Structure 1
Amino acid sequence: MTKTWLIYALGGGWGHLNRALSLGRIAVNQRKVEIITNSPYAKHIHNQGCLLHSIPHYTGFAATCLQVQEILLNTDYDCLIVDTFPRGLGGELVDILPRLHSIPRILIHRDINPRYVIEKDLRSFVVKNFQAVIVPGEGKDLPLGDLPGVIHTAPWLVRNAGELLDKKTVRSHILRVDDTQKIILVCAAGQASELALFSQLTLKLHQTFPECAVRILTPHSPQDELKDLWVFHHPGIECLAAADVIVGGAGYNTVYECAAVGVPLVALPLARLYDRQHKRVSRSYAVKNIQEVLTTVNQLLQTRQPANKPPIPTYTNGAIAAVHHIINYEL
């Protein structure tokens, strides 16, 4: 009988859900995969063969915690995988985890604010309640990175290099750009409240670089004057791979997807309660304001090779190794 993995992936943006899908789509060849999510973007994606327990993002805090507990207590699964928050986003896993004596529990340790780790005494909690900790490409300088038996993989990506759509197809059919133009792609993958900032950036880039094709990648419909520049496609990594320069935040997906496909990222670190984008931004071209965005984009465009001869991405998808590691903990 096929075993079932249940992945806890609560969080308001793309990151938690995309990491869960990156892992789940590889695992579905050997396991049944179910994902708990409250991402507002869940309705915009293909579930990659995974079953989604989708809690509406507008559900209240207490009601969300109760729904999570009901799913955990009333679903049959053989392994629980928790992304980022060992206690749960609202502490709702504290009373549940000790009851799962016979079920392997795996923590996915993305970088997290060390103040939260100290306040909630997460070190002792993780040691007591999880059999393994996997770091998905975030390096070793993490609050829980020195716990015994931590496993490090390359970043998890929702597409392997060989699965990416042909760049010429993406340029013409998705981004709607001809072969002669360089593409500046604004990746508005964060919270819906940040769309105004990225819309302003898009408009300024469009005005400053009229010779380029500027596009804004977001599931949210932007203001009317940007309608012709608006694109939405999932997985976004396929659009990133076809661009010449990316402008965005410094979230997990944006940073590691740009690095994987070899396209420079001009990143504005955005404030988050738990995620330290200011730390991750060092992997990109870090900027502080719109003027620095324009200056850096201009410099990168001067050195970027012609768009019609892009390099073919080659990278390691850490989700593949992670699946093997988790299977080993089931045995």
Structure 2
Amino acid sequence: MEGGGVTRSSHKRVALVTGANRGIGLEVCRQLASSGATVVLTARDEKRGAAAVDALRKLGLSDVVFCQLDVGEPSSAARLADFVRDRFGRLDILVNNAGVSGVRMDIGDPAALHQVRTSMGAMERLEWFNQRTTEPFEEAEECLRTNYHGTKNVTEALLPLLLSSSNARVVNVSSTFGLLRVFSGEELKHELNDIDNLSKERLDELSGQFLEDFKNGRLDHHGWPVGGFSAYKVSKALINAYTRILAKKHTSMRVNCLDPGYVKTDINFHTGDLTVEEGARGPVMLALIPKDGPTGAYFNGTVEASFL
């Protein structure tokens, strides 16, 4: 389940990153470990997670350990919390990075990717992907289970350990696809923006309502996002709202979310504009934000922006 020899430390920050065996998550681990933090690298696949830890140790970053985590399984989150509690006694930084796209993609001839990467602008690339994606219900269901429920379950399981820290940070990796402007219904926009009256229980209900409407072909009728990546958009909008609810309730922590940018990763076949080093800057900045820094905020990269 875990590897390495890092033990309890009273002075080093303890950070945990989900979905961290590659891409942005792995680079966030590298940058946090380079800053002096002890890092718990988590991934669903044990072999890949252990290999990622080995790769970081070969860079001289010895204070990194692995713990297996499937964010879609509540029992896995509970085991992770036990691991962190037994090993460190607290958690100072949580970066929720794990996520899925919610679509199936058929890119056709792989050689076409070279043209996409080299001759298309960002909007053209997105349109190219949209034309090659389908959204089966099973993918939408997994997307909500992973991106929203998984992030929330992991955070809630680790919350007592975060509250044991004198300087806790929670960073939820989100997307501009989760901004309220992608919703077609004003009522839904208003409800998701009304943080004073919104609850975690209501977010769960909205997740269920979306999947029901998705299954019945009624997304447009009830004001959900349409036009591609609907489940992904809803999952990120729910995470944005959850971020604000958590920040409002636990004022001792700094809880923020962000879009890291269009980063070259496996999820987009490395057609992004940014390197993983550039994409990790925002999550790392928020993980290390000063005690008097913003909370309950959304960032576009490293710049605070609107949820709308």
Question: Which of the five TM-score ranges fits, normalised by the shorter chain?
Answer: 0.3 to 0.5
Q: Which has the larger radius of gyration?
A: 1
- The normalised TM-score by structure 2 is 0.40
Structure number with greater CO (CA < 8 Å, separation at least 6) is 2
More helix as a share of residues: 2
TM (normalized to structure 1)?
Answer: 0.38
